Amino acid sequence: MEASQSTFDFENGSTRADPQPVASQEEPDSQEPEEEPDVPSATGVGAYLISKGFYPDKELGRGVDGVVVGATNKRTGQKVAVKFVRQTTEGDMRREARNYETIKNKRNSLGEFAKHFPVVYSSNIEEVPFDGEPIDGQKIPTAVIVMEQLEELPKEVAAGLFPTGDLGRKNAQATRQRDERIFKNERLVGGMIGLAYDLLENANVWTPDFPVDAEMEVSEEIMSNFKELKIPIQEPPGWDKIFQSKQGLFLATLFMKLTYEKMVEIAPNRDEKSLVLDYEQNIKKTLMEIFYKAYSRSVVSGAVQGAATPYSTLRGLDQFYGQEGEIEKSFPESVSIRKAMKALGMEGLKPFDVHSGNVMMRPKTKEIVIVDLGRFKT
């Protein structure tokens, strides 16, 4: 089975090998146009859409960079999503239009990976009426992107693969499903521990010096005890509300307990040891927080290699310690989309700031689609 052709089965949580057709840039078969609704005197983006031959539908989404409105082509009945971006910084607005235009023009060169990006019909800077203004009223330059309409990606898939900013109660089911697969893979567990020590070394808080040889020794001890679940540990109060899987909480508590004990053991003198003992609760709290930052990293990076800083939260577990292959083993549904992001980067548009809030699903094929391209880098 070619991994890049796999499609994720959202009902059963597995992959199937049926290759899905790449979304075409051509308009879908025309539908019978609906009977023209009685549209009151429209203003703002609604007035603009009517002037361009669309019936305005409901608002589909809103974010920092703009608003997305559903619309129906009066002539063909085709439903589309129209993104409007008004920025006080003109460069951002133009970047948005340019990025979507690039996807439109590069679609054929992306081949099988084009399916992970939206079909874009047009992307231009247009004069659009201000909110509350009629079509002949005061206007403002606006990036207007017309693209295919998609559906929401199931949360357990989106939050399990991409950065969410929250792996707690809000995404409890996704967290448990993600953890079940991660903790079956020893190399992914080891990479998570290694990342935690890297973050500890670069943290802007005081902790005792912890040399590399101590990290390696404690890492082996953590792994050994984690596999056997053999140390009964009383976790700090409140952390059971943050970690939604028992394995995640157990691993974090092991990291905290064994790292702190080693810090006490290797203290170079009596004064240093006394300091470590006096600040025990603060140090342990810091260790738990550091480990949570490593644990909550996404599976798929929200930026291609080199587009984000070394410890950016956009860098997922796949970009640390050569773990791409391990991620592909445990999360086969991530293979195609990760390759798609790399392929687009090779075309000169580097994916950046991809997270669970801006990935959707193509209804018929259930393909994952990255819909927000405005922050991609050239």
Judge contact between 76 and 30, C-beta under 8 A: yes
pLDDT at residue 160, as a whole number: 84
Is pTM beyond 0.85 here? Answer: no
Q: pLDDT confidence of 232, banded at 50, 70, 90?
A: low
b vs e for 244-267, b when ≥16 Cβ sit within 10 Å of the residue's Cβ? bbebbbbbbbbbbbbbbebbeebb
DSSP string, 270-314: HHHHHHHHHTHHHHHHHHHHHHHHHHT--SS-SS-TTSS-TT-TT
pLDDT at residue 315, as a whole number: 92
Q: Given a cut of 70, is residue 140 above it in pLDDT?
A: yes
CA distance linking residue 268 with residue 274, whole number of Å: 11
Assigned CATH for 3-155+346-370: 3.30.200.20
pLDDT digits (tens, 9 = 90+) for 15-31: 333 333 334 444 444 45
CA distance linking residue 33 with residue 31, whole number of Å: 6
Q: Given a cut of 50, is residue 191 above it in pLDDT?
A: yes
What stretch of H or E contains 212?
helix 212-228
Q: Output the six-digit token pair for 159.
A: 């939050």
pLDDT digits (tens, 9 = 90+) for 234-265: 778 888 888 878 889 999 999 999 999 999 99
Domain spans, the chain: 3-155+346-370, 165-297
Residue partners of 321: CB distance under 8 A and separation at least 6 = 191, 194, 195
pLDDT at residue 365, as a whole number: 93
Q: Given a cut of 70, is residue 329 above it in pLDDT?
A: yes
b vs e for 110-128, b when ≥16 Cβ sit within 10 Å of the residue's Cβ? bebbbbbbbbbbbbebeeb
What stretch of H or E contains 84?
strand 79-85
Give me the percent of the chain exceeding a pLDDT of 90.
64
State CA 27 to chain mean position distance.
29
Arithmetic mean of pLDDT, 336-342: 95
